[in-house]
Amino acid sequence: MMSRVKVSELSRRTDVSVASIKYYLREGLLPSGTQTANNQAVYDDEHVRRLRLIRALVDIGGLSIAQVRRTLTAVDDEAVPLHDAFGAVMHGLDSVPETEPDPLDEVRTWLHRRGWSVDDRAPALYRLAELVATLRRFGFGGSVDEFDSMADTVEAAAGVEVQYARSKPDRTAAVESMLIGTVVYERVYAEIRRLALESASRDG
Amino acid sequence: MMSRVKVSELSRRTDVSVASIKYYLREGLLPSGTQTANNQAVYDDEHVRRLRLIRALVDIGGLSIAQVRRTLTAVDDEAVPLHDAFGAVMHGLDSVPETEPDPLDEVRTWLHRRGWSVDDRAPALYRLAELVATLRRFGFGGSVDEFDSMADTVEAAAGVEVQYARSKPDRTAAVESMLIGTVVYERVYAEIRRLALESASRDG
């Protein structure tokens, strides 16, 4: 347990500028500190953790402040079941496009066949359908069923990750774990993929 | 083979606005059309393909116009070996950060052990090292070796993709294939992963 510290020390420990911390306080993303006798606010471990979560959402997830607020509201509301809080994180990472991409129904049917249960307004559902449309425009890819082997791999890993997140001692830690699992590992995969492609293109 | 068409028809066929086409022409990203007797420029299939490639780089790859120019220069220069042109596409997708992330040497050693040959200034090398640092900051992930199983899967797929790209009839088609393989499929993977996580978080 960290002793209570002033905003300057909170900034030093989290590598978030004092100006940003004050902005998050004003916007209500970060709870107020405790007022001491000499009218100075002090902060504790909870503030460190919350700042870390905000920065992960902004820096890694690329969320706007409005999206961070929506996500944190779901995280903080104990009445929201944990799986809905996970959903809020995932939905907060992207938005649903205004037009329905053509292969949307195909993707829905595919998910249904796989027995995956996702919100009908999940941004990832729309984005995947858009990507299928893009692939087809470039003469790539036929049936959505071609994603099955990729999905098999991902499905097994996702189950493990969710179990791991659920095993965390509290909601903030669980959601943080889910967020890192989603956003950081998908970038890790993408970068490893680029390295593999570069290496393969040098061979022979 | 498409007959030669006016800029308005080129715009209609590619879904790229006339203003954007004229901008790409001015910036030298798109070769000039052929002047007809009545001093009107007409365009052909090559322009359609080049526009499609520019839009893929911008819309899917998120490249700036300067980055598109650098990438297309490598694509167009027949003196540049094809694997360097593939490298230019992959390097164009991201930049090398100014500071060296702490785990950079670990990632280099890991790639070396795997026998992957990548440019020492490959952006993906730096980005992966940054992600390792992020994971550690959040108390996730230990050794880089934990990525081995992910890398095994990716390695096999990358070989197939590069072979497929190389089998294309010309450089533009090969590079386009490599770009789609890199950028679109990494997004496909990410979206399927998000759907799997959402579904898994609903279970039980």
How many helices (H) does chain B have, and how many strands (E)? 10, 2
**According to the model, what pLDDT value does residue B103 have?**
95
Q: What is the pLDDT of residue A99?
A: 86
pLDDT (average), residues A4-12: 93
Check residue B144 and give its pLDDT.
92
Structure confidence at residue A1 (pLDDT) = 55
Q: Answer whether A18 touches B (CB < 8 Å).
A: no
In this predicted structure, what is the pLDDT of residue A118? 92
Q: How confident is the model at residue A204 (pLDDT cuts 50, 70, 90)?
A: low
First to last CA, chain B: 57
Q: Which residue has the higher pLDDT, B122 or A88?
A: B122
pLDDT of residue B1 exceeding 60 = no
Which residues in chain B are closer than 8 Å to A187, comparing Cβ atoms?
127, 131
A124: chain B residues, CB-CB within 8 Å: 191-192, 194-195, 198
- For chain B, the residue count is 204
For the stretch B70-113, pLDDT in tens is 888 888 888 888 888 888 888 888 888 888 889 999 999 999 99
- The three-state secondary structure class of A35 is strand
pLDDT of residue A47: 93
Q: What percent of chain A has pLDDT over 70?
A: 98
* Residue whose C-alpha is closest to residue B92's, from B183, B188, B189, B187: B183
Q: Please state the rounded mean pLDDT for residues A128-143.
A: 84
Q: Which residues of A touch B119 (CB under 8 A)?
A: 198
Radius of gyration (Cα) for chain B, nearest Å?
A: 21
Is B158 at the interface with chain A, CB within 8 A? yes
Q: Does B154 touch chain A (CB under 8 A)?
A: yes
Over the stretch B156-178, which tens digit does the pLDDT of each residue have?
A: 888 888 888 888 888 878 888 88
Characterise A139 by phi-psi region: left (phi > 0), alpha (psi -120 to 50), beta (else).
left
pTM of the model as a whole: 0.80
Q: Check if A134 contacts B (Cβ < 8 Å).
A: yes
A75 CB within 8 Å of a chain B CB: no
pLDDT: which is higher, B133 or B140: B133
Is the Cβ of B178 closer than 8 Å to some Cβ of chain A? yes
**Backbone phi, then psi, for A35, in 5-degree steps?**
-80, 130
Average pLDDT, chain B: 87
Residue of A nearest to B166 (CA): A201
Question: Which of A125, A153, A185 is opposite residue B153, by nearest beta carbon?
Answer: A153
At B114, is the pLDDT very low, low, confident or very high (cuts 50, 70, 90)? very high
Cβ(A116)–Cβ(A95) below 8 Å: no
d(CA B121, CA B144): 19
pLDDT of residue B109: 96
